[in-house]
Structure 1
Amino acid sequence: MRSAAVPSLMWCVFGITTGEFVIAGILPDIAGDLTVSIPVAGLLVTSYAIGMIVGGPVLTALTTRFPRKPLMLTLLAVAVAGNLASALAPVYPVLFAGRMITALVTSTFFANAIVIAASTAPPGRQAATVSKLVFGMNLSMILGAPIGTFIGNDHGWRATFAVIAACCALGFALVLWLVPDVRDAAPATSAVAELRVFRSRDVQLAIAVTAVANAGLLMVFTFFASLVTDVAGFATEAVAVLLLVYGLGAAAGNLAGGRLSDRAPMASQLGLLAALAAALVLTWTTAGSTVAVGIMVFVLGALGFSVIPGMQARVLTTAAAAPTLAMAVNASAYQLAAAFAAWLGGRVIDGGLGLRSIYLAGAAVTVLGIAVSLSAWLRDRRASKAESVPV
């Protein structure tokens, strides 16, 4: 049964995170059906992000002493309810609330899933086992978001959320049946002790790097469907295919970025962010060409996800005193970027600059991410030199 625990948890991660990523493919349909503007519909990304930002660190810290399996089942039940509420939402505020409810449990579920996966792994195989859960998240972008978009295009966006709710319900059954109750996995620390990790200046800077450096590409991803249809001229049916291309690029970039980060963490991060900023500018110049945009979608996915492994490693290292919370912290930082990106993108569009300018705004924010990363690098170098000075 322990051998089936990780695939079961991977399915759950796939289902829950598909609900996060699929919004990029069905955003115009939601806006049209609920009679709201694209910028207002983009705030659904903000609501999800706020839910993860608040729910991640706080809920994870408050539940560190809870038995893992009952907690996981409760979180999955909330995810099912939130997605059903989204599918049945009669008006925009109800959909907004449904997305936020689902988001509240996402980070905590992922953090606890990693604890259980690591505890069921054979000696020396913990990292490889945990990577399978991350692969579930990759699959949600490569397969989940495109499939969800296809469903939304053919049967309406409500059907997309209904199917995601069904996936989470199946995950509930799999966890109930196949996942062991790992009672000794919870660290013997209090919520207050876990939350003290935020006092560290290094942790704060690591969170800032993750949040700011990812915001530029997330701005583009939030308005992905509108950018490729209204600006590049693709048919609506092509959005799902382009999301698949983006996901394939993300998977390739994630693997390559992990290897580069192992060799030269900060140097590779700075170089990859610079390449991402340049790619966003290049996409702006070619935004009206379907061929060029089709290529750049893959490139942007690859470059955007190539920096994530290094950022994850930095957060985990600086927050080593609270390993479970560290995963939620990293997710919250990423969602902070998503919330800011959706808000700023809406302001750019409403300001009369047009959809196409989203690429330039994303490049500018990415350059700011380079500056924050450079600050972290200089801080690390000063600390290293101080430690090397003989007393």
Structure 2
Amino acid sequence: MTTRGGTLHAPAEAHTGHREHPPTRLPLVVYVLALGTFLMGTTEFVVAGLLPEIAGDVGIGVARAGLLITVFAVGMIVGAPLMTMLTLRLPRRLTLILALGVFAAGHVVVALGSGFGVLLAARFLTALATGAFWAVANVVAAHAAGPAASSRALGVVGAGAMLANVVGVPLGAFAGQLMGWRGPFWALAALGAAATVLIARHVPRDTGGHGAISVRSELSALRSGRLWLALAACATTTGGVLSTYTYISPLLTGRAQLSAALVPLVLVGFGAGALAGFLVGGRLGDRRPYTTTIAAAAVTTVLLLAICLLSAYPVPTIALVALLGLFGLGANPVLISLGVRFAGRAPTLGSALTVSAFNLGTAAGSWIAGLALDCPLGATGPAAVGTAIAALTLIPTVALAVVQRRRSSASTGAVVHRSAPEHA
């Protein structure tokens, strides 16, 4: 399979002959980029554990302080593709360094800021930098690992963000209680500066500049129907899982009758499952990307339906939440890899659009799930919404598999036709 910009390696499931074996070890730069996404994931969600302290210090209500999370999500949705286009002609290494520099500076502004407007502006600026870093990091990691291990590399990069939910966010909340809410932001600023040094040292200078590429050629990727199918799957898979996860606390304490003190442990179980899912899903996706995405969507739908039906029983619910983390987000690195591949000559834009799609699905799913809390289903309403959204993921994932099978059959038929003698 080729693009105008050169050879594009097909997914492993498309091969009928020799299969390129993935390397046993990933390049060090992949793990350096995972450190960056760990910081990005931590800053996105650490605010949730600091809202009362921030609200009290700034003199606003907790609900209004929650806009610090909303504005970050909006910044990620807008920032990933926007910053990709604005940095189009910059080398990817320089883009990563600049993004981390802005990330660190944004946290310094939050740590020093006193007005709520300043905090909102700084969070939005940080989100723009986060979107740019994440989009470029995906492409650099996939390029460094090679086509035979691209999904595994993206799984490791994404696992950095999942590890943030298990380690970074709880540590940030704990540090905020000991040092005040500004302490975690100072720490993230320092870590961001340190990560900048690592990126400058370990990301090669020749990971690909953009000087010869125009905005028009980048936007030509938007004509790819398979790219839009991959983006739809990104939005629905994350929307289904995180619409349920956002309101898991009232489900656990209200329906399952768990103590509020046990809720963080259940959330750690979800985070650990998601971390394992990213790593395992990335490995499986290098060999059978379409099977992996379809299976993940089907199992996720069944798990969410089971949560709806069994949420009155604490032990099954705890187990189901951990499994939801494992299967619900396990296909994400595969979907990112497909988005990058189907974008053709615009891999960074394809990566950026997957970041936007994930965040758009999260925002829309969480909003609908919040409305469902007031329906007769009560605390199980968000899980019901999540089940319906997750089931929709089967439409684009199955469509992608069907399209790929047809393209493979057509390619095989063309080869056979050319090889046959002219006369029977």
Name the TM-score, length of structure 2 as normaliser.
Answer: 0.76
Does 2:209 match 1:186?
yes
Q: Does 1:257 align with 2:262?
A: no
Q: Does 1:330 align with 2:354?
A: yes
Secondary structure at the aligned position of 1:189 is classed as coil
Alpha carbons 1:16, 1:164 under 8 Å: kept: no
Task: Rate the CA distance shift 1:44–1:340 in 2: closer, same or farther, 3 A.
Answer: farther
State how 1:1-391 maps to structure 2 within 5 Å. Answer: 8-23=32-47, 34-37=60-63, 44-87=68-111, 95-114=119-138, 132-152=156-176, 157-175=181-199, 178-179=201-202, 182=205, 185-187=208-210, 188-229=212-253, 232-235=256-259, 237-349=261-373, 354-384=378-408
Distance in 1 between residues matched to 2:269 and 2:174, nearest whole Å: 14
**Aligned equivalents of 1:128, 1:146: Cα separation in 2:** 26
Question: Comparing both chains, which one has the higher relative contact order based on Cα–Cα distances under 8 Å and sequence gaps of 6 or more?
Answer: 1
CA deviation vs aligned residue, 1:268-319 (integer Å, no higher than 9, x gap): 4233222212211222333344433322221110011222233223212211
Aligned length: 386
Partner SS for 2:89: coil
Tell me if the contact between 2:336 and 2:354 (Cα under 8 Å) persists in the aligned partners: yes
- Structure 1 residues 207 and 123: alpha-carbon distance in aligned structure 2, compared to 1, 3 A threshold: closer
Q: What displacement does 1:6 show?
A: 5.5
Q: Is the 8 A contact 2:273 2:324 kept in 1?
A: yes
Check the 8 A contact 1:80/1:166 in 2, yes or no: yes
Deviation at 1:358, TM superposition (A): 1.0
1:279 and 1:27 map into 2 onto residues whose CA distance is 31
Any idea what SS the aligned residue of 2:344 has? Answer: coil
The amino acid across from 1:273 in the alignment is A
Residues 45 and 69 in structure 2, CA contact (< 8 A), matched pair in contact too: no
Structure 1 residues not aligned, in runs of 5+ = none
The alpha-carbon deviation at position 361 of structure 1 amounts to 1.1
Distance 1:30 1:249, change over 3 A: farther
Please say which of residues 181-190 and 322-331 is displaced more in the overlay. 181-190
356-365 or 89-98, which deviates more? 89-98
Looking at structure 1, the residues matched to 321 and 190 of structure 2 have their Cα atoms a distance apart, in angstroms, of: 30
CA contact (8 A) 2:148 2:286 kept: no
CA contact (8 A) 1:211 1:335 kept: yes
Letter in structure 2 aligned against 1:148: G
The aligned amino acid for 1:354 is G
Shift of 1:29: 7.0
Determine if contact 1:61/1:195 at 8 Å carries over to the other structure: no
Distance (whole Å) between structure 1 residues aligned to residue 254 and residue 114 of structure 2:
27
Counterpart of 1:145, as a letter, is V
Q: Which amino acid aligns with 1:204?
A: W
Helix, strand or coil: the match of 1:251? helix
1:104 to partner: Cα distance: 0.9
Give the fraction of aligned pairs with identical amino acids, expressed as a percent: 34
TM-score by length of 1: 0.81
**Structure in which a larger fraction of residues adopt helix:** 1
Letter in 2 for 1:16: M
Q: Secondary structure at the match of 2:373?
A: helix
Q: Deviations over 1:11-51 (max 9, x none)?
A: 322212211244565567778884244xx766655433321
In the TM superposition, residue 139 of structure 1 has moved relative to its aligned partner by: 2.5
Deviation at 1:211, TM superposition (A): 1.0
